[in-house]
Copies of this chain bind each other. A is one copy, B any other.
Amino acid sequence: MPKVRLIAKTEFVEPDWQTDAEGGEALVEFAGRACYQSWDKPNPRTATNATYLRHLIEVGHLSAFEHGSATLYLTELPRGLTHELVRHRHFSYSQLNQRTDPTDVVEPELIRQHPELHAKFVAATEASLAAYQELVDSLEQTVTGRRARQIARSVLPNATGTTIVVTGNYRSWRHFVAIRATEHVDVELRELAVACLRELQKAAPNAFADFVISTHPDGTEVASSPLVTEG
């Protein structure tokens, strides 16, 4: 399982207006109210940050959620998974350089649980890393170390571990969770989406309050929101 850790979030620094939440949640409310200059919270049904943000989601005013952002640091991911992750255009990424020597592989859970599969996996990935090292050593006799590693990594497996810093605004994160935490998505990516959601709900609870994590009949976790139709 990838490790997911919140490393940055939005700080709201406007002294002249406040609500019953802080950070990006307060900022989303501020932005929504700026559109109507409704600073005095005229509507009692949306007078708290939680109810205001829920209302924005219900009426589809999602652009306000673009103002808050959160940065997660993902480690112990297989590179095969980041290939799918980086297709999400609305995030910003800083990934471990591909020419860095590999140190570890990330074993799929279902393989790890079966001794026979585990043995096959270990043998195959160890052989790949050994071949990588042999190729680097040979290539370094004719090209630079950087070039040697760049060529040799052609034999590295998808399981090769990587790390990546991912920044997204709340709207992008909500979209990512909505389409990647459903049962239709491969388990690895879905588990990542659910793990991200857990961190996001700690960082900005009201902005992700409608998403509920549950256990699928097959034992894996999924997440969904009754207010999101795009999934």
Q: Could you list which residues of chain A lie within 8 angstroms of chain B, going by C-beta atoms?
A: 5-14, 23-24, 27, 30-32, 34-37, 63-64, 66-69, 71, 73, 78-80, 82-84, 86-87, 89, 92-100, 105-108, 110-111, 114, 116-117, 120-121, 123-125, 127-128, 131-132, 134-135, 138-139, 143, 147, 150-151, 153-159, 163-165, 167, 169, 186-188, 229-230
| Cα-based distance from A92 to B31 in the complex (angstroms) | 10
The answer to whether A63 and B124 touch (CB under 8 A), given A117-B138, A151-B108, is no
| Cα-based distance from A24 to B71 in the complex (angstroms) | 10
The answer to whether A10 and B11 touch (CB under 8 A), given A83-B83, A121-B154, A139-B117, is yes
Contact of A135 among B23, B31, B117, B164 (CB under 8 A): B117
Shortest 8 CB-CB distances between A and B: which pairs? Answer: A66-B92, A124-B131, A31-B94, A11-B11, A229-B229, A7-B14, A154-B159, A89-B89
The residue in chain B whose Cβ has the minimal distance to the Cβ of A81 is B154
B80 touches A153 (CB 8 A): yes
The answer to whether A94 and B63 touch (CB under 8 A), given A34-B73, A154-B157, is yes
* Residue with the highest number of chain B CB atoms closer than 10 Å, among A110, A159, A229: A110
Contact of A36 among B34, B97, B117, B165 (CB under 8 A): B97
A155 touches B159 (CB 8 A): yes
Q: Would you give 25 A-B contacts (Cβ < 8 Å), ordered by A?
A: A9-B13, A10-B10, A10-B69, A30-B165, A31-B165, A34-B96, A36-B100, A64-B94, A69-B167, A79-B83, A80-B98, A83-B86, A84-B98, A110-B139, A111-B151, A116-B138, A117-B135, A117-B138, A120-B138, A121-B154, A121-B155, A124-B128, A125-B155, A150-B186, A155-B157
Contact of A156 among B30, B96, B134, B157 (CB under 8 A): B157
The answer to whether A7 and B11 touch (CB under 8 A), given A131-B123, A158-B153, is no
Residues of chain B lying within 8 A (CB to CB) of residue A7: 12-14, 27, 30
| Cα-based distance from A105 to B150 in the complex (angstroms) | 16
